[in-house]
Amino acid sequence: MSAKLLDGKAVAEQENGRTRERVEALAARGITPGLATVLVGDNPASRVYVANKRKTCKKLGIASIDADLPADASEQQLLETVARLNADSRVHGLLVQMPLPSHIDDHKVLEAIDPRKDVDGFHPQNVGLLALGRPWIIPCTTQGILRLLERAEYGIAGKNAVIVGRSNIVGKPTALLLLALHATVTLCHTRTRDLPGLVGRADLVVAAMGRPEAIRGDWVAEGAAVIDVGINRVGEKLVGDVEFAAARERAGLITPVPGGVGPMTIAMLMENTVSLAERAH
Ligand code: NDP
């Protein structure tokens, strides 16, 4: 069997189309949604991500408010930038690109973002609301995964979902949302015993480890849905956390890298920005 490919690029285009219609409806009321992106330093991957976010804003008619700080900017300078953007009425969504240089406390910075403008959903207040099942905003990558599954008409309730990676930005919020949607969730990490066995019993696998092709194709159960969040540069190539070619032979649904979850994350960032602008007005 060869799995059906979940084409994140195509689905993201459709979602962006819907977002553009909402932007136009706001424009008719004299409102331009605005996304502020703060980039500190010159991490090459972060530069690419932020450039993509800013470019997509422009494509959809969302104002991009850009704040770039040098790698040696102090924590105080960054906190002042966040405070300025919190107070700026053009800004409906505000994100600070991670990772930050090591001399800056990222918890302090995330806590400084106005929770109502917290477009990534990483502020402790929004993490708490998500855990309580009353989300104000859903983190973009998690929302992108769920939307892809929804558009493929994949039913989550009752499924055994195995998530590999427990980060605050991907693994944990995805576990909470899948649980809220009535999956039975197993959240794995580096101390997990028998990862191949757990993956082999999963109906739905979400790989978010940052380890090139660490999930071997022959671990995957016949017919499983495989969502690969990983983005790893191997030489000139980008590969995911799943051994794609072999996994595709066994899975029922699978996302490619690139062109899977990546474009969906950006589309959901745009959607979150517009939702925050609608709520602000
Ligand atoms: P982190 O490095 O923050 O977390 C990685 C997680 O994977 C950790 O919980 C770690 O476990 C676990 N892990 C690592 N190696 C193994 C292993 N061999 N076995 C089991 N668990 C393991 O990563 P992120 O969550 O930030 O990102 C994960 C990947 O997703 C990266 O490739 C990143 O580039 C990509 N990404 C893609 C996005 C997209 O839009 N497509 C968005 C965000 C991230 P432990 O906690 O024990 O250390």
Pocket of ligand 1 (CB under 6 A): 141, 164-167, 169-171, 188-192, 195, 208-211, 214, 229-232, 261-262, 265
Q: Which of 60, 79, 114 is the C-terminal boundary of a domain? A: 114
Co-location of 57 and 169 in the same domain = no
In a domain, 10, yes or no: no
User: How many domains in the chain?
Assistant: 2
Domain with 212 in it: what CATH number? 3.40.50.720
Co-location of 147 and 55 in the same domain = no
Task: Give the pLDDT score at 50.
Answer: 97
Q: Ligand 1 atom 34: the closest Cα is on which residue?
A: 231
Distance between CA 142 and CA 91 in Å, rounded? 23
Ligand 1 pocket: which of 209, 255, 261 to mutate (most atoms <8 Å of CB)?
209
SS3 annotation, 107-129: HHHHHHCCHHHECCCCCHHHHHH
Burial of 139 (0-12, 13-18, 19+ CB in 10 A): buried
Co-location of 150 and 91 in the same domain = no
Q: Which of 81, 114, 147 is the C-terminal boundary of a domain? A: 114
pTM over 0.85? The answer is: yes
Domain with 66 in it: what CATH number? 3.40.50.10860
Is 53 one of the catalytic residues? Answer: yes
In a domain, 179, yes or no: yes
In a domain, 281, yes or no: no
Co-location of 108 and 205 in the same domain = no
Is 77 one of the catalytic residues? Answer: no
Query: CA torsion, points 177, 161, 244, 260, in degrees to nearest 10?
Result: -20
Which residue is it, tokens 């010159």?
A: 42
Structure tokens at 69: 């700080």
Co-location of 258 and 153 in the same domain = yes
Co-location of 204 and 255 in the same domain = yes
Co-location of 179 and 249 in the same domain = yes
In a domain, 210, yes or no: yes
Co-location of 161 and 88 in the same domain = no
Task: Give the pLDDT score at 162.
Answer: 99
Task: Give the pLDDT score at 61.
Answer: 98
**What is the extent of the structural domain holding 248?**
139-262
Nearest residue to 2 via CA among 244, 219, 207, 213: 244
Co-location of 102 and 176 in the same domain = no
In this predicted structure, the answer to whether residue 139 has a pLDDT above a threshold of 90 is yes
Co-location of 201 and 100 in the same domain = no
Q: What is the pLDDT of residues 36-57, one digit of tens each?
A: 999 999 999 999 999 999 999 9
Distance between CA 177 and CA 172 in Å, rounded? 9
Task: Give the pLDDT score at 13.
Answer: 98
In a domain, 129, yes or no: no
State the distance between the two ends of the chain, measured CA to CA, in whole angstroms.
50
In this predicted structure, the answer to whether residue 1 has a pLDDT above a threshold of 90 is no
Which residue is it, tokens 């983005």?
A: 231
Which residue is it, tokens 């990546």?
A: 262
Helix axes 171-180, 140-151, angle to 10 degrees: 40
Nearest residue to 229 via CA among 220, 219, 240: 240
Helix (H), strand (E) at residue 200:
helix 195-200
Co-location of 179 and 255 in the same domain = yes
Co-location of 73 and 166 in the same domain = no
Distance between CA 11 and CA 7 in Å, rounded? 6
Average pLDDT value over all residues in the chain: 98
In a domain, 133, yes or no: no
Ligand 1 pocket: which of 9, 106, 189, 266 to mutate (most atoms <8 Å of CB)?
189
Which residue is it, tokens 């400084």?
A: 112
In a domain, 125, yes or no: no
In a domain, 164, yes or no: yes
Q: Where are the beta strands (DSSP E) in 115-168?
A: 160-164
Closest ligand 1 atom to the C-alpha of 240? 32
